[in-house]
Structure 1
Amino acid sequence: MERRNFLRGAVLTGSVAAFGGSLWRGAAHAAPAQPGAGPYGALRPADANGIRLPQGFTSRVIARSGQKVPGTSYTWHNAPDGGACYADGSGWIYVSNSEINPGGGAGAVRFDSSGNITGAHRVLSNTRQNCAGGKTPWNTWLSCEEVDRGYVYETDPWGVKPAVRRDAMGRFKHEAAAADPVRKVIYLTEDVSDGCLYRFRPTTWGDLSSGTLEVMTGGSGTSGSIGWARVPDPSAASTATRHQVSAAKHFSGGEGCHYADGSCWFTTKGDGRVWRLDAANNTIALAYDDSLVSGTAPLTGVDNVTGSASGDLFVAEDGGNMEICVITPDDVVAPFLRIDGQSSSEITGPAFSPDGSRLYFSSQRGTSGSSSGGITYEVRGPFRS
């Protein structure tokens, strides 16, 4: 896939002062994050894999596109993208999408309790440009097609049950998904320059075969109250889902999406922002904006996002200087790692192992700059808990 190039969106609207009021009182991430000393310290020189890490952390390559996953007969897919980890007895599984079209799909690597690779397998085939997605509370992987009128596919990380296309979740240029078990909805981002944020309400929680697709409504500002409205035709047979509700709130290139502790965090690449949706109060505000930092922005090209048990957000860069940056609950943003020598790639699929001690991610195009050059990594170390 060619590098995505979106121009910066319109100038900032709304007042930064709004972040300091009752919207954030008593909550972590109380204002747009500013550069500072990260919780893990400075990055050290690049290791043998070309990755710069803080003291105490190490990296290893677990898979390369077009090559057998070590110790298995499974060939790893091209253009590895969004991913998630699943507990598997005393071990775990890392699932990864393939952002190619046609072909797409997703694969998985299996680990034992010591982190040794014990197998690899396919979980989804014959789809299109599977970009990001999301993990469900019932341990399936939602793989999202980033194409016009794309679908969401619900897959089995173990590769035993066949994948199922979930038409009720809407047809649009899907990016990421995040499940909210409290409100029993799944949030969905849309990767177009005037995209929307959606939520899907299953008729029965745990069954995605039917339900209601809703779109966020609200003004053009960057903070305040929002609403939700039903999308009349989720199939987008004649009108794109983002254009069916006149009051829909539009975002500049929706990317990663992560739910934790009552908040849905999502990124928009067109304006370099990380947003926080307070799901209980139906309000939004900015957690980060690369145009609002003091000095040089450490995080640019915001893309996939995940979180750790400590409440830290880990945001991967599409471009930038190939970093994963951490945004702490104290509103500090700092680099956590950097990949050297891969400026024609992007970082994708960050996900923690179930015990929080290992972070998995990919460089989608590796050193070659081609989708056939993808590299998937593991970083191990003293992550905060």
Structure 2
Amino acid sequence: MDRRTLLRATVAGAGGLALPFTAWSAAYAAPAQNADGPYGPLRPADANGIQLPAGFTSQVVARSRQMVPGTSYVWHDAPDGGAVIPHGSGWIYVSNSEVAASAGGGASKVVFAADGTVVDAARILSGTDINCAGGRTPWHTWLSCEEIARGRVWETYPLGGSAVARPAMGRFKHEAAAADPVRQVVYLTEDEPDGRFYRFVPAAWGDLSAGTLQVLRAGTGTSGAFTWATVPDPDGSPTATRHQVSGAKVFNGGEGCHYADDTVWFTTKGDNRVWQVNLTAGTYELAYDDNLVNPGPAPLTGVDNITGTPGGDLYVAEDGGNMEICLITPDDTISVFLRVTGHGRSEITGPAFTPAGDRLYFSSQRGTSGTSAGGITYCVTGPFRG
């Protein structure tokens, strides 16, 4: 029985409940290897320069420094991390701007009707620095993370309300966040060559104004057991948070982070890895390592943002590489899902699915120009599997 069969059997054995992201932790158990993708080969680039499998189409949603079509709002520079927030019968796509405060840093949103048409766009965060990735919460807020020394997490309110800093979540070079409603914690990555992996334990779930910052402690290997230790001074001054706890495990350039069913995945760009943390067993291991793909070449390099589908597929975006989004399946295979052509000085950012799972949003941060002013945000529609 392969791991995808095991996944489906586990779901059926749970009483047939239609639970999201069920039994992922039972599915993944080894670094992914090359295989044909579930959607077949890529076709020639479309009018937007995107290569997709048969049955999938792309459209441009917004371009930096241009009005979002159907609105009077000018889209921000350098679109980065993103997420989809349910909104009535439609949804909202939120996106960070990875530029300095002086250049318009912060985050924006595009509001969609149920049929996918744009009905509004607006700013949700201003005056912040180098907002790279982040994560959504179960209470429909967006955590926008500053990727600077002693950066902050900002909780933004796409459904209405003013953004607020959450310093209790630590002052460090933040990258991504992922909420775990079971343990009522938020996981956090750190974009440093000697970065750490954290979790924030709020004093009250749903309120991130106070709580405890903890860091993962483990050995130096690529698998094993781990524990959590409290960071004495989340403010990170004068001693950086990553240097405060003896035995805290080092990760080389933390990037994307994604939680589902007792497992959290996060990526490290310095060594092109996807890490998998089994929260029930208290163990960690590799879900992907470009040096362990045999036979090569490895399809995924420049490992960056990550998201997932209810069926258990992980979608990992490249910063550089071949400008691809790669797909890791529950049976430990990896393949290229899409490729953006003509964007040689850019990176793919902000992949996120709609609640129905039939649309994938993402951006090319610097587009064809290779500058922050050239960002393009896309939507891919097609027969994504459940």
- Would you say same fold, with TM above 0.5? yes
Closer, same or farther: CA 26–146 of 1 in aligned 2, 3 Å: closer
User: What amino acid is the match of 2:120?
Assistant: G
Q: Distance in 2 between matches of 1:25 and 1:359?
A: 20
Aligned residue for 1:154, secondary structure, equals: strand
% same residue: 68
- Which residue does 1:92 correspond to in 2? 91
Q: Distance in 1 between matches of 2:78 and 2:333?
A: 31
Q: Distance in 2 between matches of 1:204 and 1:110?
A: 30
User: What amino acid is the match of 1:51?
Assistant: I
Cα distance per residue 1:63-99 (max 9 Å; x no partner): 0000000010000000000000011111110000000
- Which residue does 2:3 correspond to in 1? none
Matches within 5 A, 1:1-385: 27-102=26-101, 103-158=104-159, 160-294=160-294, 295-385=296-386
Structure 2: tracts of 5 or more residues without a match: 1-22
Aligned residue for 1:147, secondary structure, equals: coil
Aligned residue for 1:315, secondary structure, equals: strand
- Which residue does 1:8 correspond to in 2? none
User: What amino acid is the match of 2:325?
Assistant: I
Shift >4 Å, 4+ stretches: none
- Residue 41 of structure 1: how far off its partner (Å): 0.8
- Residue 281 of structure 1: how far off its partner (Å): 1.8
Aligned length: 361
Q: Distance in 1 between matches of 2:366 and 2:24?
A: 42
- Which residue does 2:10 correspond to in 1? none
Q: Distance in 1 between matches of 2:311 and 2:43?
A: 23
Normalised to the residue count of structure 1, the TM-score between the two structures is 0.93
Q: Distance in 1 between matches of 2:315 and 2:321?
A: 15
Normalised to the residue count of structure 2, the TM-score between the two structures is 0.92
Q: Distance in 1 between matches of 2:75 and 2:201?
A: 34
- Residue 124 of structure 1: how far off its partner (Å): 0.4
Aligned residue for 1:372, secondary structure, equals: helix
Cα distance per residue 1:25-45 (max 9 Å; x no partner): 981121000000111110000
Aligned residue for 2:291, secondary structure, equals: coil
Q: Distance in 2 between matches of 1:310 and 1:46?
A: 27
Aligned residue for 1:226, secondary structure, equals: strand
Q: Distance in 2 between matches of 1:38 and 1:213?
A: 39
Please give the root-mean-square deviation of Cα atoms over the aligned residues, in Å.
Answer: 1.1
Q: Distance in 1 between matches of 2:272 and 2:299?
A: 11
Q: Distance in 2 between matches of 1:370 and 1:124?
A: 22
Aligned residue for 1:348, secondary structure, equals: strand
Indicate the structure with greater helix content.
2
User: What amino acid is the match of 2:138?
Assistant: P
